[in-house]
Structure 1
Amino acid sequence: MAEENEVEKTFKELGLRDELVEACENLGWKTPSKIQAEVIPHALEGKDMIGLAQTGSGKTGAFALPILQALLEIAENQRTVPAFFACVLSPTRELAIQIAEQFEALGSGISLKCVVLVGGIDMMQQTLALAKRPHIVVATPGRLMDHLTNTKGFSLGTLRYLVLDEADRLLNEEFEKSLDEILNVIPQARKTYLFSATMTKKVRKLERACLKNPVKIEASSKYSTVDTLKQQYRFVPAKYKECYLVYILTEMPGFSTMVFTRTCDATRLLALLLRNLGQRAIPISGQMNQSKRLGALNKFKAGECNILICTDVASRGLDIPSVDMVINYDIPTNSKDYIHRVGRTARAGRSGGAISLVNQYELEWFLQIEKLIGKKLPEFPAEEDEVLLLLEQVTEAKRISITTIKESGGNKRRRGDGDNDDNIERSLGINNNKKNNNKKQQFNKKRK
């Protein structure tokens, strides 16, 4: 009961100043989320923090609000507010940009200056932004290290706060070297906040290395999905998978939907296929340059396109409030990625839906997901005869899409095995005609 009462506290009762309470109200934050209610009081006391929370829990506010409060208090006592006061490290460009937007929204009433340092954007443009001496730096580790090494006059010598967001991903091999270098050049006398979906061995090692007597807050003790999320699956033959996708999207016209695929090639092909059928779809993947990725994301946020076809580059941290539905076109091989994907909908108390299309080759992965979330999902109702009425249209749309990709030369294989139809279809997982009846029977037995 004590936990429930704490969650019900207002932002004012957590100890936040009136300017920040007003900023929360302007963003439509009526009451603190669980992670905010538990982290903010300790953070305001000056403690290092470890926050373990599921995706969509409001953790950006949990670390941004105490940092902004500290800035406000310094501004009251000094004529100038120190530059490079806080640094937030993020594993992805999109998440970094989103974190910066939230800082700017919360700090809009106090003339907050924030800079984003990520790859895919001109270094000189970022150097000019750093010259304006912003208060908050939000960065991916590699690009931050590039600036610390090469940008004259830039250092983090005045840093008071370091935030490691999605720390479990920041400790992947691609970031580890840059992260070690950053920790070696920033002040030891600082507050450190570490947020992670999971407490891995590497996260524990990082905790011991760079946090001092931290308070550990666990807003979710196990992998889970929110109660407002309606989750379903549909067992489909691999050769009809795209037909089922089109059927579901047709049944839910106008829904804001994120469709997750396993490969970058599949995002492009599916987006073309859907557009050829009159759907407003747009792809986003790691193969696209940063401006195109941001453009696609902004079109989706603005509602110009209501279907975002994406890889797992979009599965973490992105807060797009209007997402009604997540469709797992490809089941993730890592069951934990399922949690992050479906966390794009049903955020902050809103409702949402998730449908997973499971073919005969993905059964084991799906069973692992059900085991992880601790529940058996109901099947999405659909009559196959009705779905297959779309087959001719979908097949023709697919043919046109493949031709478009072939003509643009955009689907060549690095291994030199050509640009034929088989390769393109294989990337979408649709070039398979093996019977799946036995597999389905085995699947149903295992789920009982």
Structure 2
Amino acid sequence: MAEPDLLVNFDLALTSNAFAASSINGIRGGRWKDRFRAKKRLQNKRGRSDMPGLQRGPRTLESQPRNLAEGDASTLQSRRGAVGRAQKNGKESHSASGPIHELPVISSIFSSNPIPSAKPEHVDSKNLESSTPTNAPLKDGSAFSTMGLAPALASHLVNSMKLKAPTSIQQIAVSQLISSDSDAFIQAETGSGKTLTYLLPIVHRIYTAALNGDKLHRDSGCFAIILAPTRELGRQIHTVLMQLLSHPSLHWLVPILILGGEKKKSEKARIRKGGNILVATPGRLADHLINTTSLDVSFVKWLVLDEGDRLMDLGFEETLHQILSALDERAQAKSDKPSSTSKLGLPERRVTFLCSATMKASVQKLGDMSLKDALYLKSNQTSEANGEDLSKIFQAPAQLKQAYIIAPAKLRLVSLASVLRRAFVRKKEHMKVIVFFSCADSVDFHYKAFSSNANIQIEEEKKEAVVSAESDGDTDESEQELPLEKKKNERPSIAARSRAPLINENVELFKLHGSLTQHIRTATLNEFFHQKEGAVLFCTDVASRGLDLPNVDLVVQYDPPYSKEDYIHRIGRTARAGRDGRALLFLQPGCEEGYPSRVLKEHNLSRRLADEVLKKGFGNAPLPAVSRSKSIDLTWKKDFMPKTSGERWEQEAIEFHLDIERHVLASTEFSDLAKRAFQSHIRAYATHVAEEREVFDIKQLHLGHIAKSFGLRDRPGDIKVPARGKTDSWSKPTTSSKGVNKRKLDRVGADDEEQGQGDEEELRKAAQMMRKKMREHMDVVSEFNIG
């Protein structure tokens, strides 16, 4: 008879169980907490291995219960019930090798979203009406011939460059810059022609100097240097300068372009040949000033700092100090020697032009560093801003229609798709859209997401073509060789472009960011510029400054800018030179709703809700060809739809988002890209300036919903981000016993045979760890290590 206080522990597990032989006997000694945790892990593994729906391969409803968007018990029960009904109806049949037909995971993007503020912002009626353009050419009879320009140069602007009249800033600044040798700060709104504002006085004075003095040529020296913050802007300035110098009487005036990312050998060859106007980025110019002896800058009479605020934001302050010091030293050394160009009527000292659309502390610092007794030139705007000084604020063009959309995190991706679909329904021909993102990884993910179906469709077409070619043996050989010869003659494009079937079958999708190589960036921007049909450009702030892209009707800021100055530069890519334009900003419910009034100080932005945008894009707009070709059975989805659903636009939005999630699950590369984009987006969100932290509070973000907008079904804490360009490194086995043990403990869904082998190996290593811990505690007297 057993003692009443004696506890007898028998192991009654079945002998056929793979865990029975070693689950208890394999782990002995050590601390009781370690034994308890090991036992729980084994029980967990046994429970998962007994689930009938768990198989290796694609995820099923039963294998991924924690991937629910909300994860509540009622939703999980409805999913299991749907699987049971599907099995009873014969919709899913299992075999020894696993399920033949699997139902995808469904999680609604319309549930548990934060509610936007019920009180709408005040909208000024003048924003909804067509306003008089403030950056358009003047219509008061002004002409280039009345600004003091040479007659040949004025006629060239009208006849060759098709510029009928100057803008406000050109009318005010050009005549003063021609007649004065003073430094100048030029401030004007985006799209008002600041490039020609500083190019015309420089070209005019060099042209008149050549007429009055000796004949000049490309070896006469470098007269002007123009610094641009980005390579794209530098290339555009060089293009405008080439158009301006295309007049026959200016053929001897040669510009030189030197940019980062290009081959230095070819740039040095161009410098040795000689040039009169140098367009450069600061880093590459500083490098040539040190290492290129053939670059003679001792006779520079003009220095232009275009987009001065961006030059300071990108960290070029020290580089600009070096450039200014080098120019001063070489000019001082040259002043002691006689020069044949000293009597040409050019400025006696170096004149500096500082151009910017905004006035901020960094611009003032750059002005103090480079300007002396400068003229302040701004466009003649008649509008007032509540009595504030217009020189201290920034303004958007009056004809630009601005709006913002309040979209919860889970609806951001489908809202972007809806906006783009609706945009090309309204105006298809020659229309272009620019979408700004906060980081390069986010650009890559969305570019891949919106063009992924295009790649699949192309592969299917190739397979069909191969099958048809194999089946059709009577095809004429000449008909087969003709496309191959045509393909050989065609030069492949290196631009980052693709079709966007999820938007419109006739729309081309481009991407542009600083991580791309220079030749790809140049080709992408050039092809987007010359695109005749509809086009969308996904980009970072590398394309937010100074670029003049034609037919840009809409600018979408999918991620809010880092500062209010960046906002005005982004929307300045549209509504240029008097043309109409629209701008749309994405904001999330909560603290971000105060961005227009508290940060931008604008009360005339129209406010939209995500549901309204989705109804127009997924309900009223026609579906793309890819979506129309898909046969969707919505009968079995009724258990997974939200209670308020039933509308066509909601079902199509859910299906669109599910397609992105399926692509993320199906491709390891795409999954890694989504994870990198998620983490980069969170890091970029934390880089807003200190004055805007109350509006963009990272603590208010729902990280799970943000991950959902990137097509991820994992919890944010489980998302591990691989390095750029590398595969999922943590999924690969390593030689570390600790790493192998941890990965095997987390492994789910192995086959029965592999599961048994893994359990034995796991138990063996766990026993080794326990013995090691026991040896470490042998010198400690405890009731848990007696005997």
Q: TM-score, normalised by structure 1?
A: 0.86
> Quick one: structure 1 residues 217 and 30, their matched pair in 2 at CA, closer, same or farther if it must change by over 3 Å?
same
Residue type of the alignment partner of 1:190:
R
Does residue 106 in structure 1 map to residue 244 in structure 2?
Answer: yes
The equivalent position to 2:522 in structure 1, one of 294, 318, 328, is 294
> Quick one: structure 1 residues 281 and 428, their matched pair in 2 at CA, closer, same or farther if it must change by over 3 Å?
farther
- Whether the aligned pair in 2 keeps the contact of 1:223 and 1:372 (CA below 8 Å) is no
> What's 2:760 paired with?
none
Which SS does the other structure have where 1:379 is aligned? Answer: strand
Which SS does the other structure have where 1:382 is aligned? Answer: helix
Instruction: List alignment gaps of at least 5 residues for structure 2.
Output: 1-136, 333-348, 382-389, 454-501, 620-648, 681-702, 716-787
Which SS does the other structure have where 2:145 is aligned? Answer: coil
> Quick one: structure 1 residues 173 and 240, their matched pair in 2 at CA, closer, same or farther if it must change by over 3 Å?
closer
- Whether the aligned pair in 2 keeps the contact of 1:89 and 1:96 (CA below 8 Å) is yes
Q: How does 1:244-323 map to 2 (within 5 A)?
A: 244-253=415-424, 254=428, 255-275=431-451, 276=453, 277=502, 278=505, 279-303=507-531, 306-323=535-552
Q: Following TM superposition, by how much is the alpha carbon of 1:293 offset from its aligned partner in structure 2, in angstroms? A: 1.2
Residue type of the alignment partner of 2:659:
E
Does residue 16 in structure 1 map to residue 149 in structure 2?
Answer: yes
Q: Following TM superposition, by how much is the alpha carbon of 1:365 offset from its aligned partner in structure 2, in angstroms? A: 6.5
Does residue 195 in structure 1 map to residue 336 in structure 2?
Answer: no
The equivalent position to 2:654 in structure 1, one of 377, 380, 391, is 391
Task: Work out the CA distance in 1 between the residues paired with 2:352 and 2:271.
Answer: 22
Q: Following TM superposition, by how much is the alpha carbon of 1:6 offset from its aligned partner in structure 2, in angstroms? A: 10
> What's 2:174 paired with?
40
> What's 1:340 paired with?
569
Task: Work out the CA distance in 2 between the residues paired with 1:365 and 1:283.
Answer: 30
Task: Work out the CA distance in 2 between the residues paired with 1:11 and 1:432.
Answer: 61
Task: Work out the CA distance in 2 between the residues paired with 1:346 and 1:393.
Answer: 32
Q: How does 1:320-335 map to 2 (within 5 A)?
A: 320-335=549-564
Which SS does the other structure have where 2:583 is aligned? Answer: strand
Task: Work out the CA distance in 2 between the residues paired with 1:158 and 1:60.
Answer: 22
Q: How does 1:351-366 map to 2 (within 5 A)?
A: 351-360=580-589, 363-364=592-593, 366=595
Q: Following TM superposition, by how much is the alpha carbon of 1:206 offset from its aligned partner in structure 2, in angstroms? A: 3.5
Does residue 185 in structure 1 map to residue 326 in structure 2?
Answer: yes
- Whether the aligned pair in 2 keeps the contact of 1:370 and 1:377 (CA below 8 Å) is no
Task: Work out the CA distance in 1 between the residues paired with 2:708 and 2:289.
Answer: 39
Task: Work out the CA distance in 1 between the residues paired with 2:303 and 2:318.
Answer: 17
Q: Following TM superposition, by how much is the alpha carbon of 1:247 offset from its aligned partner in structure 2, in angstroms? A: 1.2
> Quick one: structure 1 residues 316 and 432, their matched pair in 2 at CA, closer, same or farther if it must change by over 3 Å?
farther
Number of equivalent positions: 427
- Whether the aligned pair in 1 keeps the contact of 2:404 and 2:584 (CA below 8 Å) is yes
Task: Work out the CA distance in 2 between the residues paired with 1:238 and 1:306.
Answer: 26
The equivalent position to 2:198 in structure 1, one of 47, 51, 63, is 63
Residue type of the alignment partner of 2:173:
V
Residue type of the alignment partner of 1:236:
A
> What's 2:608 paired with?
379
Which SS does the other structure have where 1:252 is aligned? Answer: helix
> What's 1:442 paired with?
none
Q: Following TM superposition, by how much is the alpha carbon of 1:426 offset from its aligned partner in structure 2, in angstroms? A: 4.2
Quick one: percent identity of the two aligned structures? 32
Residue type of the alignment partner of 1:158:
F
Instruction: List alignment gaps of at least 5 residues for structure 1.
Output: 435-448
Task: Work out the CA distance in 2 between the residues paired with 1:405 and 1:214.
Answer: 57
> What's 1:212 paired with?
372
Task: Work out the CA distance in 1 between the residues paired with 2:369 and 2:613.
Answer: 53
Q: How does 1:108-127 map to 2 (within 5 A)?
A: 108-109=246-247, 110-111=250-251, 112-127=253-268
Q: Following TM superposition, by how much is the alpha carbon of 1:398 offset from its aligned partner in structure 2, in angstroms? A: 5.3
Residue type of the alignment partner of 1:184:
S
Residue type of the alignment partner of 1:258:
I
Coordinate RMSD, CA, aligned? 3.2
The equivalent position to 2:397 in structure 1, one of 215, 226, 238, is 226
Q: Following TM superposition, by how much is the alpha carbon of 1:180 offset from its aligned partner in structure 2, in angstroms? A: 0.3
Does residue 239 in structure 1 map to residue 380 in structure 2?
Answer: no
Residue by residue over 1:256-311, the C-alpha shift from the partner in whole angstroms, topping out at 9 and shown as x without a partner, is 10011111111111122222324421111111111111121112111166000011
Moved more, 30-39 or 171-180: 171-180
